[in-house]
Structure 1
Amino acid sequence: MTNTALVAAAASLGMAALVAGCASHGPTPAPAPTQSQAQAPAPEALCNAQPAQAAVGQNSTASVVESARARSGARMVRILRPGQMVTKEFDTQRLNLEVDANGRILAVRCG
């Protein structure tokens, strides 16, 4: 074997070793949850409009709206006024209060 052939063979082996060192050895394991993640509170209950039906017929004052939200177990509340454009996505944590032009609550539903 000539010196040139020997050098080429050694270079090929060296490159193969470098490429093998860069290869992945499988997925990296997920880190263990921290104490705060392990003790995260359970998600809130889903909205239930039935207990909030008492708000129908009342004016949509801040206290009435908050009371309806709390009774339903919803995380948030949205007031829907006549002709108002609204998004159509369904949110299981949202209470919708449909009101008339005077702010009187006409309907209570989740979503």
Structure 2
Amino acid sequence: MPWKLASLGTLLAASLLAGCSNTSTDSAADPVATTDSGHSRCEAKAAEFALGKKASPELLEQARVRAGAQNARILKPDDMVTLEYRSDRLNLNTDANLMITRVNCG
């Protein structure tokens, strides 16, 4: 009898978990899958024009658009940042004088 209950419990758990899975590959259903430019990832090379320039909100937006990124941020040397990787985010790293020293995605 205990084996029947264990088997039934396992079957029930497996069916509940199967109902939670998502096998859809439709990118139209995911609003983060593409950007206005049609790219799903940030292209840091396209934003390298900003190297050596002083960081500003206007420059950040220009770099974001050119890179095809969904989000962008300016990172100062002592800023605390989250470490999760996001392929749709552009980072403009600056020195203490807010001059852009590095452009990368993530």
Could you say which residue in structure 1 is the equivalent of 2:37?
none
* Alpha-carbon distance between aligned partners in 1 of 2:78 and 2:29, rounded to the nearest angstrom: 41
Offset at residue 85 of structure 1 (A): 1.5
Could you say which residue in structure 1 is the equivalent of 2:60?
65
1:92 counterpart (69, 87, 94): 87
* Alpha-carbon distance between aligned partners in 1 of 2:79 and 2:49, rounded to the nearest angstrom: 24
8 Å contact kept, 2:93–2:101: yes
1:53 aligns with 2:48: yes
Structure 2 unaligned spans of 5+: 1-11, 20-25, 35-39
Q: Could you say what the CA RMSD is over the residues aligned between the two structures, in angstroms?
A: 2.5
Q: TM-score, normalised by structure 1?
A: 0.62
**1:21-61 CA deviation, whole Å, 9 max, x = no partner?**
xxx9xx7xx8xxxxxx9x64772121110010000011111
* Alpha-carbon distance between aligned partners in 2 of 1:109 and 1:82, rounded to the nearest angstrom: 15
Amino acid corresponding to residue 73 of structure 1 in structure 2: G
* Alpha-carbon distance between aligned partners in 2 of 1:97 and 1:64, rounded to the nearest angstrom: 10
Offset at residue 100 of structure 1 (A): 1.1
Over the matched positions of the two proteins, sequence identity in percent amounts to 40
* Alpha-carbon distance between aligned partners in 2 of 1:61 and 1:79, rounded to the nearest angstrom: 8
Offset at residue 88 of structure 1 (A): 1.0
Flag the structure with larger Rg.
Answer: 1
2:102 counterpart (86, 98, 107): 107
* Alpha-carbon distance between aligned partners in 1 of 2:102 and 2:59, rounded to the nearest angstrom: 13
Structure 1 unaligned spans of 5+: 1-23, 31-36
Could you say which residue in structure 1 is the equivalent of 2:7?
none
